[in-house]
Chains A and B, each alone.
Chain A
């Protein structure tokens, strides 16, 4: 029977000693992948996997990844919302692996939204 080995978990626990638990502490960016039926059918799980891999490869320790349901724009799935501290949240649409990698690099890490993949930008003015 396959089961996680306790010694593997203990090894990880030891190696992370003293680092912050992001969800309890402060994070710099939050990425939400929309995972309703529509999103999943359109490939949201691949987007989630791309982000998990990118976070692992970059050893990113200040970004949290989460999932949510359908945002009501099913025809434009897969979608994700990127919230970087001090910046307006941006919804990205029609995602694929390459676009997701670029958004992760430029917006999540670099702090510069990728306008060409966004649903809309700068439309929330109140004047």
Chain B
């Protein structure tokens, strides 16, 4: 995975595959504290204790099409590379909460990159799942709640190109302004598409 927005897309796939009807996403960056945390909480079926114990193992998967599952191990590796850590809480029938923490100024911390594209991709691909996204990047806040959007749209499909464009536009300002300083110099958050 090239950046954290792709990791985010990937682990939310686990939430939707677990039958979640609501996925709550939080992205919080505090550069003064040198911390970036990404939290994903779902109300899917959750995991038993023994599954939770081995979920970081790449040779663990619930899939039958192949024998490896790399989503969680790759994310944990990305955390470790940036002196961070990964926490997973889960309860059968209650859902799962994954928190990935990074030292944001670490030279090996991957950029967040295009979170807006990740969010619209999730919404377009899973229109029946609700997403609540909240981010605070050094004081700059964005909130998107598909439940509110669907209520306002009153029957119009949330995957309508005009609606998705509005959601993506919320992220445009951040993408232009988001650059950060690392030991390697200035790295611009503007990557992709």
A residues at B contact (CB < 8 Å): 1-4, 6, 8-10, 12-13, 15-16, 19, 21-23, 33, 35-38, 40-41, 45-46, 48-49, 52, 55-56, 64-67, 69-72, 74
Contacts and interface: CB of A to CB of B under 8 A. Distances in A.
Contacts of B165: 56
18 contacts: A2-B140, A2-B143, A2-B173, A3-B143, A4-B148, A9-B153, A9-B166, A12-B166, A16-B160, A23-B157, A37-B69, A45-B117, A45-B118, A52-B120, A52-B124, A56-B165, A66-B126, A72-B66
A15 to B, nearest CB: 8
A78 B173 CA distance: 30
Interface residues of B, number: 48
Contacts, number: 115
Interface string B69-97: 11100100000000000000000000000
A65 B159 contact: yes
Contacts of B13: 35-37, 40, 69
B170 interface: yes
B187 interface: no
Nearest to A72: B65
Contacts of B17: 69
Interface in B150-192: 152-157, 159-167, 170-171, 173, 192
A86 to B, nearest CB: 24
Contacts of A55: 161
A82 to B, nearest CB: 15
